[in-house]
Amino acid sequence: MNFQEFDISGLCSSLYTYVLIRAFMANKRETHCNNQVDTFAEALATARQMQQNWLTYGVDFVNIYVEDVEGDWLESWGHDEILGNFQLDTIKEFLVSNDSVAVKVRQHLGERSLFDFAVNLDESWRIYETNDRLSAVKNLLAGEGNSIDTDDIRFLDLVNSLVVKLAEIL
């Protein structure tokens, strides 16, 4: 065999595949081996196809695997749960309204983020048990690291008013 005809990348790839399959098989029992090797072989074939597309198309290979690659999908990653949430929208609208309870909540929060409070309030509101929900709203309104007397009657009145108002609007 001539040195120029020798494909070193193909040999390395085949050797790598062989080592991976042997290592994978050595750690698994024989009964599950065939199914797992088939799954591994499918994943390996998919990875090889992706690598081949990368080599063929360069950076443009991403167009094959990502819809709307030119869009703002990266900036909005993970916001899907927040953006289409009717309950969160209702809570945000309430918190910025002129309702007396909303005004008191904003005064109590001070410099804390109203949006973060709304998101956490939305999560707290999903708690099924009424007492647990009340406790979660109380802790949320108190805030972490704040030196607020959570047994103060005015604070408890604000918590109860907020819970009642949320029950009305949600």
Residues 95 and 125 sit within 8 Å (Cβ to Cβ) = no
| Token output for 104 | 């008191």
Residue type, position 95, single letter: L
Fill in the DSSP letter of residue 3. G
CA 15 – CA 147 distance, rounded (Å): 63
pLDDT at position 74 is: 64
The reply to whether 47 falls in a domain is no
Domains: count for the chain: 1
Range of the domain at 83: 79-169
Residue 165 in domain:
yes
What is the pLDDT tens value at each position of the chain, 170 positions in all? 444 444 444 444 555 566 556 655 555 555 555 677 788 888 888 888 888 888 888 877 777 777 666 776 666 666 555 556 788 889 999 999 999 999 999 999 988 899 999 989 998 888 888 888 889 999 899 887 666 777 788 989 999 999 999 999 88
Q: Within a domain: residue 124?
A: yes
Query: Is residue 34 assigned to a domain?
Result: no
Q: Does 112 reside within a domain?
A: yes
Model pTM above 0.75: no
**pLDDT given at position 58:** 80
> How far are the Cα atoms of 20, 56, 66, 68, 91 from residue 163, in angstroms, in the given order?
57, 59, 43, 41, 11
- For residue 3, the model assigns a pLDDT of 43
| pLDDT reported for residue 18 | 60
The DSSP element (H or E) to which 80 belongs, if any, is helix 80-83
Q: Say if 88 falls within a structural domain.
A: yes
Report pLDDT for 5. Answer: 46
In angstroms, the CA 74 to CA 67 distance is 12
The pLDDT score that the predictor gives to residue 8 is 44
How confident is the model at residue 11, as a pLDDT? 43
* Pair of tokens at residue 157: 């009145």
The reported pLDDT for the residue numbered 39 is: 81
Contacts 24+ apart (CB under 8 A), 94-103: 94/165, 94/166, 94/169, 99/165, 101/158, 101/161, 101/162, 101/165, 102/165
With beta carbons less than 8 A apart as the criterion, state whether 140 and 83 touch: no
